[in-house]
Structure 1
Amino acid sequence: MLTLRRAPRSRVRLSAMLGSLESVTALVLAHLAAGGELPPAGWLAAFAVLVYAASSVVLRGRAGIRVVLPALLGAQVLGHAWLVTLAPDLHPGHEHVTSAFLGLTPAMLAAHLVAAAVTGAMWVLRRRAVEVLLRWTDAGVVPLPGVRGAAAPAPRRSRTAREHRALAPTRGPPAGPLATA
């Protein structure tokens, strides 16, 4: 009989929400540690939605981490460059580095790499947790049924003389102990 088990990957809303919060928190902390200012709340919310969407795709197994994580890192870097370009007055420390790649200092680029690494680690750990839970619920390998022979008959006890007389046939020739031909 064929039994199929559906992996619990369709319900990833909570994991994706937690992953989004972890990733945005890592991005904010890394951004502040690199010497930048806190991005506006609208940008953080937009990035949280982006990470939520990416997390739901990755945790459902529809796309690989090796594909989605670089795209998410690129979105982070381009979003940062867009922030620097659109609002240079909000980023006073970035005037002297406008010649840098997309307005990113090496420390800021490292901060975005750290935030992406946190997101990737979160995805790997959550996928691994699902695999471990699925292994715990496995039924295991059932041994093949063996072919059993007929059970050996129980040893007979010898009849007593009384049982022999009671069970002796009443019709036909007498059953004597010695047969003569």
Structure 2
Amino acid sequence: MTATSADLLSQALNAQAEPPLRLLPPAVAELLCSLDAPPRLAAHLRAVHDVAVELTNWVGERHPGLAFDCDAVHFGAATHDVGKIRHPGELTGPGSAHEQAGRDLLLDYGFPPDLARFAATHAGWAAPAVTIEDLLVAAADKVWKDKRVPVLEERLARTLAGAAGREPWEEFLALDDLLTRIGAAAGGRLAFQSAFPARKH
């Protein structure tokens, strides 16, 4: 018997993976189900969210006094590509129309602007006014598949160092070590994502 789109979406949201992937925040999983999201999108959001949790755990342990919105980072990573529901061609090809569309979608469903913004800004990490939260979401969206972006990583390291009163080089080395370890498991995350169709049956 062929699995339905709903079955595949449920598997993408809940199935065991290797490496293990945390579940998405319940409100995000409910939204994806209500919108009948493509299963591959759900798998992708789950992978990026899991890496975001790894990043925020590291920041929290390394800088216990640093004030940043951990939950916002997790939500931002879990919804950063949600606009691809409205622009499904961007699941398998290039395009940025999903960015503003994702922000608008989240606002339409009652999510506050400070959380909805990540869907529009996750690729805009080079803008002057980005926050630690923006940089962490952007980093998660790269390193989940072991894509390294030195300029992004340097900016994140400098931002963390400045907020914590540390030397940028020291922060960069520690961040590089973390991202190398996270990137080493990229093959499993990519395989999990690829196991699900980009289009609904």
TM over 0.5: no
User: If the length of structure 2 is used for normalisation, what is the TM-score?
Assistant: 0.34
Between structures 1 and 2, the one with greater helix share: 2
